[in-house]
Chains A and B, each alone.
Chain A
Amino acid sequence: MRLELVKRPQQSVLFSALSPFIAFALMVVAGGLIFLALGKDPVDGLYAYFIGPLTEVWSLHELAIKAAPLILIAVGLSVCFLSSNWNIGAEGQFTIGAIVGSAIPLYFPDLQNAAVLPMMLVCGAIGGAAWAAIPAILKARFNTNEILTSLMLVYVAQLILDWLVRGPWRDPAAMSFPQAPAFHSWAIVPELMPMSGRANWGIVFAVIAAIAVWFMLARTLKGFEVKVIGQSPRAGRFGGFSTARTIVFAFLVSGALAGLAGIVEVSGAIGRLQPQISPGYGFAAIIVAFLGRLNPLGIVAAGFVLALSYLGGEAAQIEIGVTDKTVRAFQGMLLFFVLACDTLIHYRVRLVRPAPAAAPAAGPTPATEAAHGHG
């Protein structure tokens, strides 16, 4: 006897829309059980985790700071993933964006006027796009596996950053410690409402990017091209779309947004280049992209949910006394439940008794494979 997934002929529209909420509810239940198992009051735990961070203004600012890079990167990744380009290297594009953007104030310290910041942001986006272009061109020209190339370039980018802040860009006033000089005030992304907290314009960029990419995907021919190539490159070719062009386009958009996130993070939230600038935003954004169902507007919501899980995890550590591992467990559960709900909407589980005729259980049809690829 075994379990088998059978594709549903028709997916429930209602449940497709409800799926993220069901997943979230399941996670809350599972989270409550975990708190119980740890000997903590589940109501206290869940309150500290999911509601506490939303009850204070400063904490909302922090939420925006945390969500901004996740959303920016994930919105770009949605273009890649929808076109079946598995860009796993957003972390590297983020890093290179931060480096190239930072080059402006570091090399032209005397340039102190309102033009500096826009130049930094543009350079950051260009840097990220250029870094993403490497796996894109390798895939388009030589059919290399972009998962490997983009991922490996993450480590290269991080080593370049490391070398720069220890070597040529090291702050002479920093007692041989590895960090670049702090940015001057013109080179810092301004705070939105400095009176109440430190959230900066990054979150605004993120929302604008999400709306723009949503419009591109939903309303333009380019967006249609991206989705067609993603689901069926053959059909796309019949329609006159170029697979190679789509690969490069998707990677450039994704890399530019990751690069922008990188320069906004170092300029706005950190204030200087240093060896560690990201706690893995480029990888966490993959979760955000899928949690948002590869829809840029969904990604905005998903970005806030994941950001909340970081902040809530911190609050729970302090107020309830659980370890930081619970944060990771909660994030893992969230992704698990989202994927599980999606799977159960597309497929139903069937108990198969051992039968002589194995024909109905034959391998997946091309149609189900496409559904897999679509995530």
Chain B
Amino acid sequence: MKKTLFALAATTAMLVAGAASAQDKAKACFIYVGPIGDFGWSYQHHQGALEMQEALGGPDKVEIAYLESVPEGADAERAIERFARSGCGIVFTTSFGYMDATNKVAAKFPDVKFEHATGFKREHPNVATYNSKFHEGRYVQGVIAAKMSEKGVAGYIASFPIPEVVMGINAFVLGAQSVNPDFKVKVVWANTWFDPGKEADAAKVLIDQGVDIITQHTDSTAPMQVASERGIKAFGQASDMIKFGPETQLTSIIDDWGPYYIERVKAVMDGTWEQHDIWHGMKEGHVVMAPYTNMPDDVKAAAAETEAKIKSGEFNPFTGPIMKQDGSEWLKDGEVAADGVLLGLNFYVAGVDDQLPQ
């Protein structure tokens, strides 16, 4: 018993000493909504975190800590507060549902910086928000889909009807219609970000309905694997999923958070961190296309050309004329959608074979 007590005391002393020496290096903390092994959203955030640690001098300079599969309820606030108390200089909360919790904890810890992904609330000067223009990649996928599909119908596995997802569906359709004006998209709402079983079922339903291309806005690799089994082509999501469909993946939208995490953690180390709201895309390297595979050279060329145009800023996927699904005009010829409208987008463009859940 005495031994145990001694061991406990020693452990406590070690922990205290550890906390003291941790002051010399930066500590960046990450909260993920899914498991880091999802090979999608959370996986990519974690890859970004690791890339950041490597780039800023390794574990000797930057310590990273993370919590995975944190539910978006009352648990989030505790998880964030735990980080704020455990010496994190900056905390990245990487899901929309952490928005209120992030702001609540930020109020209590003015010296800690908070970065909330995909949200819009910055109630305190120590809260920044960041997101990426994933829809730019969706447009390129649409171009490829229209060239590759024989039936002119793609299946889209969507997560939740929030602006980001609706934006992605619209961009995909617009990209496809730039090649084939009659192209249609069928949507299945999986109502989940990560549920391999449900996502696989959604893919099967879509294939049974006759689509010959699958794309997804959910985070698991299950749709890719189903597409492989059924012998049709598919697009990966969030990370390069080529391992899960070597004969299947056309390309994938890679969320590259590394550059952003490097920039922001470095700013904390230099004392230059400031609040902002960032929405970057291909141009800044936050959205990257995986290699174009399993397609003929002319399709590759078309895809690369579209990508280059978006990257250079020459072309914006949401450039008129664009009609809404109900037939009314959204954007006039040459008109470009304002960011504010896109970030609250709640309607489809023409060509989507689905009713947007309201």
Interface residues of A (CB under 8 A from B): 41, 43-44, 47, 51, 56, 58, 62, 65-66, 162, 166-167, 175-178, 182, 198, 265, 269-272, 274-279, 310-311, 314-315, 317-319, 323-324
Contact = CB atoms under 8 A, between A and B. Distances in A.
A176 B65 contact: no
Interface residues of B, number: 42
A238 B193 CA distance: 54
B97 interface: yes
B160 interface: yes
A177 B116 CA distance: 15
Contacts of A279: 71, 73, 75
Contacts of B82: 314-315, 318
B276 interface: no
Contacts of A178: 160-162
B8 A265 contact: no
A318 B11 contact: no
Contacts of B50: none
A44 B71 CA distance: 26
Contacts of A276: 71-73, 97
Residue of B4, B74, B161, B166 with most chain A CB atoms under a 10 A cut-off = B74
B47 interface: no
Interface in B15-46: 15, 29, 35
A217 B294 CA distance: 68
A195 to B, nearest CB: 12
B81 A270 contact: no
B178 interface: no
Contact of A270 (B66, B73, B96, B343): B73
Contact of A65 (B8, B74, B85, B191): B74
A205 B346 CA distance: 41
Contacts of A66: 74-75, 78
Given A324-B35, A324-B69, A176 B346 contact: yes
Contacts of A167: 357-358
A310 B357 CA distance: 35
A311 B78 contact: yes
Contacts of A56: 85
B67 interface: yes
Contact of B65 (A47, A182, A310, A318): A318
Interface of B: 4, 7-8, 11-12, 15, 29, 35, 65-69, 71-75, 77-79, 81-83, 85-86, 96-97, 100, 120, 160-163, 166, 191, 343-346, 357-358
A120 B238 CA distance: 42
A259 to B, nearest CB: 17
Given A270-B73, A318-B82, A166 B163 contact: no
Nearest to A159: B191
17 contacts: A56-B85, A62-B81, A66-B78, A166-B160, A166-B161, A166-B358, A167-B357, A175-B120, A175-B163, A175-B344, A176-B344, A176-B346, A177-B162, A177-B163, A314-B78, A323-B68, A324-B35
B74 A270 contact: yes
A47 B65 CA distance: 19
Contacts of A310: 75
Contacts of B345: 176
B251 to A, nearest CB: 28
Nearest to B104: A271
Nearest to A271: B100
Contacts of B163: 175-177
A66 B191 CA distance: 26
Contacts of B162: 176-178
Nearest to A56: B85
Contact of A278 (B7, B66, B73, B346): B73
A270 B100 CA distance: 9
Nearest to A182: B100
Contacts of B75: 66, 279, 310
Contacts of A175: 120, 163, 343-344
Nearest to B96: A177
A272 B85 CA distance: 25
Contacts of B69: 324
Contacts of B12: 47
Nearest to B37: A323
A62 B11 contact: no
B68 A269 contact: no
Given A279-B71, A324-B35, 9 more contacts: A43-B8, A166-B358, A167-B358, A269-B77, A275-B72, A275-B97, A276-B73, A314-B67, A317-B66
Contact of A58 (B68, B71, B85): B85
B165 to A, nearest CB: 10
Contacts of A166: 160-161, 357-358
Given A166-B358, A175-B343, A176-B346, A277 B68 contact: no
A47 B83 CA distance: 18
A5 B73 CA distance: 43
B100 A277 contact: no
The list of the 5 closest CB pairs from A to B, nearest first, reads A269-B74, A279-B71, A176-B346, A175-B344, A62-B78
Given A58-B81, A314-B79, A324 B67 contact: yes
